[in-house]
Structure 1
Amino acid sequence: MAPVPQEPVSLLLLPALQLPSTPASLKSSYRSTLEALLPKLIQPNSQTISRLDIAIVLSPSYPVTQSISRTAIFPLLQTLLAQTYSLVCSVGALTKVDLDFPGGLDVRIFALEPRNEALSSSIIGKQTLSGPLVDIQTFVSASRPYNAIYSVEGETAEAHLKSVITAWQSRQGAVAPPLQRLPSGPAIAHPGGSASPYADDGPVEVHKSVAVGGTFDHLHIGHKLLLTATVLLAEPSSPASSQDKKPRHITVGITGDDLLVNKKYGSVVESWSTRQERTAEFVESILVFHTDSNSIKKTEYINEPGPNGKVVRVTYGDDISINYTEIIDPFGPTITDESITALVISGETRAGGKAVNDKRKEKGWKELEVFEVDVLDAGAGLDDSEIGDKQEKQNFESKISSTEIRRRLHEAQTSASG
């Protein structure tokens, strides 16, 4: 099944709340924002999917990103991503806006570092392969074809918007897309005060080779969170340093077609090639902030005998390579590639992470450091009464279910052929 055509992309600038923050505070602040925006962007009864990029602008309570490794900041940022994606799912359920389905929305989230004064001049505007976390100048220089920019009301949001627009206009006098401000609500004060929950517990291992695995069938928000967290964890080289120029390597294991033959609604399971292409397109969108990504991109198609022999390898410059590998067993390259040092999992696949490390121990290899992303939670955006409503809960869960997407596509196919 070919990817669904997309309309032009919209951008929402969303200020991150001061740490420590809670899902309740995020809901109080931005549920009304998303309720106003999401229905506006969709084209019901269309085969297209409109796209919304949400750029979360980090607050001063987050550590300055140049001074902290991706490993150390991972817990804070993956929580921020998970809570925001959960809020999007909740609002989609309430407003009956489809996500990652024809006539609906494709939402993608990354983070912006606004504190130029704290960054080296050798980094500002040059973090072209540092997504999903880049400085504002790099982000604007990528010249993404946004047809509209949305922001929220308030002093902090206005300051961020001004920074983005000023940077936009400095690009040889480029005209920024149309702007619109959206309502927002008050953040709920956290009883723990205003101190950041980040604690420097000493040196942590920096990871240059990171792996993740999944079916990635009909890519949805759960997949997007997992992939974004994986890309986040792989430590980029610093343009300011001549040391540690070792390139990053990301392994994305994608379940082979033969292992999916018994899936429900199997007639609309996407082929491995389609799942690989859609996964790679998403990863590029949150990783690469370059004026011309094709100019630094190289794609190789590898098909060798044996396990993990079918690979689409995408390389960007000499900084990062991504292997999209067909997996035909529960382990994939994590037990055939000793150089991998970290594995990103969801809560549902915790047992798989342990099984991988058991196998590596049997081989005398170093165990992988396992990083777990949060489970998407309806409580991040729905009230208790709404969570208790069976239909609302089903609406939320349908946003993060490949099976539910396949069911609806199967029924549409059956109806059309009947």
Structure 2
Amino acid sequence: MGSRLPSLLLLPPPPHPPSRLALNTAYEPPLKAAISKLNNETAGKDGATLIVAPVLPILAGSSARQKSLSWSHAQSVIAGLYGVVSAICAQLSIPTDIHAGPGSVDVRVVLVDRELPKPAATVSKPAVGPNNTVIINLATFAAAYHPWEYIFHPNNEPGYELLSNYLKVLEGFQTLRQSQLVVVEGGLSVTTRPPSPSGALSHTALRAVVCLGGTFDHLHLGHKLLLTAAAMLLKVPKEGAPSPCQFIIGVTGDELLKRKKYAEYVQPWDERATNIIDFLSTVLDLSRNGWGKDKRQLSLEKQGEVVAVFRDGTIEVRCVVIQDAYGPTVTTENMDALVVSAETRAGGNAVNERRKELGWRQLEIFEVDVLDAGGIVEKSPETQDFTTKISSTAIRKQKAESLG
């Protein structure tokens, strides 16, 4: 993240069902207000970071340590939010890739679990601490994510209720001035059926080793969705377990990118890998020190590999250089799942064919939703082609044009 403190936008649970139209109706006004304020304040300065935290019943399970979730539902909510952010920033011409410089707003979505209300006699304070997933509850979020520059919240009843509950658990971690609490326009909640916990949805078996690949040049919203969705598949062991879960990320080597459009603006491999770790620290890192110190353990010892360890050694992230279409999927046998986008679906099938030839078990393939401007009421030319505006090629082109 940048040198200034990040800001927080607290969002109450999404409408049900969480269609793209309903998500836009509920979340576009507060997102646009928060992004616009930060953008106006960063003109001529380093960019701002905005962590968007929708707080909703996403995990299921009576045990504080053992939880389950519906991966499809969780990634769909994140994809919907990033889709709304993409359209807003295309309209306002605001860069959202990491370390994009003056006037940019680096938006990062972090899902926060919140149990459904219980009868008064059974209400208890949520436990502070991680579970077997990468998703944490509101108390743990408050304990690990601080201090903030601003805390934005919607101007409606669910927004005020969420802020009140959050500030109670934030006590002791940050003392806020009134000017840091910013009320923004609240959207309309379109509910056709009552909210359900994740337990009412199909559960997803979590995996010990998850893999994905890409160029990750000028890490943008599509990359953020892919990385977050893949991380949510990790089965996080208890502290002190003999081995961590592994998130293996193949990052295209520099040699393979020399023929890309505007190749002179492609970021070097080390920078792309470090940006991935920077982003994932927002999703994976937990410390009561908050942003107070660099908490991750980062290793650059091996050539062509960057390793970072999070959550007291229970999560290991490996960024490895790839020089072909398969990357680590055909050099590392012990893998469980491969995460792809619609663009890389064919590559995922090719990986499994190659692993079959090697006599290795095939990987279960998970596909993330595409970023979609569906639900944007006023479809200007800027929003209609917003998907091209957030591509790495479009970002490089913009940089080339800005430099003449």
What range is the shorter-chain TM-score in? 0.7 to 0.9
2:80 maps to a residue whose letter is Q
Letter in 2 for 1:400: I
Find the counterpart in structure 2 of residue 367 from structure 1.
Answer: 362
Report whether the alignment pairs 1:127 with 2:130.
Answer: yes
In 1, Cα distance between equivalents of 2:389 and 2:147: 26
Give 2:307's aligned residue.
313
Is 1:410 equivalent to 2:404 in the alignment?
no
What is the identity, as a one-letter code, of the residue corresponding to 2:398? R
Aligned length, in residue pairs: 391
User: Secondary structure, in 3 states, of the residue corresponding to 2:366?
Assistant: strand
Offset at residue 260 of structure 1 (A): 0.3
Distance 1:189 1:212, change over 3 A: same
Of 265, 270, 274, the match for 2:267: 270
Q: Would the aligned equivalents of 1:70 and 1:234 in 2 still touch at CA under 8 Å?
A: no
SS at match of 2:130: coil
Q: Deviations over 1:357-377 (max 9, x none)?
A: 001111111110111100000
Of the three residues 5, 9, 15, the one matched with 2:6 is: 9
Give the structure 2 partner of residue 328 of structure 1: 323
Which moves more between the two structures, 269-278 or 195-204? 195-204
SS in 2 for 1:48: coil
Larger deviation, residues 338-347 vs 66-75? 66-75
- In structure 1, the residue matched to 2:185 is 183
How far apart are the structure 1 equivalents of 2:248 and 2:131? 20
In structure 2, what residue type is equivalent to 1:137?
Answer: A
Aligned to 1:356: 351
2-structure distance, mates of 1:224, 1:278: 11
Q: Residues 8 and 40 from structure 1, CA distance in 2 versus in 1: closer, same or farther, beyond 3 angstroms?
A: same
The SS at the match of 2:159 is helix
Tell me the CA shift for residue 289 of structure 1.
2.1
Q: 282-291 vs 292-301, which deviates more?
A: 292-301
The one-letter code matched in structure 2 to 1:375 is: V
**Inter-partner Cα distance in structure 2 for 1:365 and 1:70:** 30
Cα distance change of structure 1 residues 340 and 12 upon mapping to structure 2, 3 Å threshold: same
Any conservation in 2 of the 1:20–1:196 contact (CA below 8 Å)? no
Question: 2:24 matched to which residue of 1?
Answer: 27
Question: How is 1:52-131 mapped onto 2 (pairs within 5 angstroms)?
Answer: 52-59=50-57, 62-64=58-60, 72-100=69-97, 101-102=100-101, 103-115=103-115, 124-127=127-130, 131=134
Matches within 5 A, 1:247-326: 247-292=244-289, 297-303=296-302, 310-316=304-310, 317-326=312-321
Go from structure 1 to structure 2 and tell me whether the alpha carbon gap of 1:213 and 1:44 turns closer, same or farther (over 3 Å shift): same
One-letter identity of the residue aligned with 1:406: R
TM-score (norm 1): 0.84
Per the alignment, do residues 203 and 93 of structure 1 end up closer, same or farther by CA in structure 2, a change over 3 Å counting?
closer
Cα 1:184/1:195, change in 2 over 3 Å? closer
Could you tell which deviates more after superposition, 86-95 or 210-219?
Answer: 86-95
Q: What residue is the counterpart of 1:219 in the other structure?
A: 219
1:50 paired residue number: 48
The code of the aligned residue for 1:222 comes to G
Give 1:130-169 correspondences, 5 Å limit: 131=134, 133-169=135-171
Quickly say closer, same or farther: Cα 1:69–1:263, change in 2 above 3 A: farther
| Distance 1:83-1:201 versus aligned 2 partners, 3 A rule | closer
SS at match of 2:346: helix
Q: Matched residues in 2 for 1:71 and 1:163: separation?
A: 24
SS in 2 for 1:313: strand
Whole-angstrom CA distance in 2 between matches of 1:127 and 1:185: 31
TM-score, normalization: structure 2?
0.87
Where 1:254 maps in the other structure, the secondary structure is strand
Q: 1:223 to 1:71 in 2, by over 3 A?
A: farther
Q: CA RMSD in A?
A: 3.0
Q: Which amino acid aligns with 1:224?
A: K
Determine the C-alpha separation between the residues in 1 that align with 2:48 and 2:164. Answer: 26
SS at match of 1:7: coil
* Contact 2:113/2:138 (8 A) holds in 1: yes
Gaps of 5+ in 2: none
| Equivalent in the alignment of 1:307 | none
- Is the Cα contact below 8 Å between 2:247 and 2:316 reproduced in 1? yes
Tell me how far apart the structure 2 counterparts of residues 353 and 342 of structure 1 sit (CA, whole Å): 10
Q: Is contact 1:128-1:290 (8 Å) kept?
A: no
The aligned counterpart of 2:35 is: 38
User: What secondary structure sits across from 1:233 in the alignment?
Assistant: coil
Give the aligned partner of residue 383 of structure 2.
392
Q: CA deviation at 1:158?
A: 1.9
Quote the offset at 1:142 in angstroms: 1.5
Could you tell me which residue of structure 2 aligns to residue 344 of structure 1?
A: 339
Q: Which runs of 5 or more structure 1 residues have no equivalent in the other structure?
A: 305-309
Aligned-pair CA distance for 1:115 = 2.6
**2: CA distance between counterparts of 1:41 and 1:129?**
34
C-alpha spacing 1:315/1:66, structure 2 compared with 1 (3 Å): farther
Structure 1 residues 399 and 58, CA gap change in structure 2 (3 angstroms):
farther
Residues 213 and 71 of structure 1, relative CA distance in 2, 3 Å threshold: farther
Q: 1:136-156 CA deviation, whole Å, 9 max, x = no partner?
A: 111111252311101112222
Retained in 1: the 8 A contact 2:16–2:191? no
Q: Which moved more, 1:326-335 or 1:41-50?
A: 41-50
